[in-house]
Amino acid sequence: MKQKKVEMKEKIEDVASTVKLIRIPNEQNPKQQVLNQTRNRNLEMKEPELRGPQGLSLLMSIRAYLSRVITEMIDGGVDRSVECTGNIDAMISTFECVHDGWGIAVLVGVPHKDAVFKTHPMNLLNERTLKGSFFGNYKPRSDLSSVVEKYKNKELELGRFITHKVPFVEINKAFDYMLKREGLRCIIRMD
């Protein structure tokens, strides 16, 4: 069994995206597990707490085998799965790795306009739930001011997601970080 998982991991390519998978305790599985999957090794070193309480980092592709590997690891799938990248393959894997009967997948990322979400109809018939959330259900005109207030009151920790700060004259560096997938957010200073 271990040999099989190692072989599957070896076949998988490295993709820069993050998927958070949460297993909530219930009668069948009283133990709570949080798996945070990080694909960017540079971010993994800078932000180890982003990997979850167990420090588990699975460097495997969301494109090929994620849903199958997660389903095997977590006894039938996770209870909640949240996708934030907009990668259509990640969205499909996020939905396919939730547990039959009660699993809920939430899609937050915005895919390419031509992307098509394809999954087997049995995934829906097996009582999995798929939800979408555009801007986290925030309405920019009415709700943005409350987000700004939360930030001012230090209720939102946004600082840990800023991985680089560059002056405006070095703006090309910021684009290089983005293209190389070396950071989450880069602040461009206007000094």
Q: Which structure tokens are listed for 158? A: 């946004």
What percentage of residues in the chain have a pLDDT greater than 70?
61
Q: Say whether both 18 and 111 belong to one domain.
A: yes
pLDDT at 167: 93
How high does pLDDT run on average in the chain? 70
Looking at the fold, whether 62 and 150 belong to one and the same domain comes out as: no
- Span 25-52, average pLDDT: 45
| pLDDT, position 157 | 81
Tens of pLDDT, residue by residue over 168-183, are: 999 999 888 888 878 7
| Whether the Cβ atoms of residue 71 and residue 94 lie closer than 8 Å to each other | no
Share of residues in the chain with pLDDT > 90 (%): 7
Please compute Rg for the chain using Cα positions. Answer: 18
95: pLDDT strictly greater than 70 = yes
Give the distance, in angstroms, between the CA of residue 98 and the centroid of all CA atoms in the same chain: 14
pLDDT at 81: 86
Please indicate, yes or no, whether residues 17 and 111 belong to a single structural domain of this protein.
yes
pLDDT exceeds 80 at position 31: no
What is the tally of structural domains in the chain?
A: 2
Of the candidates 124, 37, 127, 118, which has an alpha carbon nearest to the alpha carbon of residue 74? Answer: 37
Is the pLDDT confidence value at 166 over 90? yes
> Is there a single domain that holds both residue 99 and residue 131?
yes
Same domain, 163 and 95: no
Token duo for residue 118: 């394809």
Q: Which domain holds residue 144?
A: 140-189
**Domain check: are 39 and 109 in the same one?**
yes
Neighbouring-strand partners of residue 130: 105
CATH of the domain at 12: 3.40.50.720
| Same domain as 174, residue 104 | no
3-state secondary structure 35-98: EEEECCHHHHHHCHHHHCCCCCCCCCCCCCCHHHHHHHHCCCCECEEEECCCCHHHHHHHHHCE
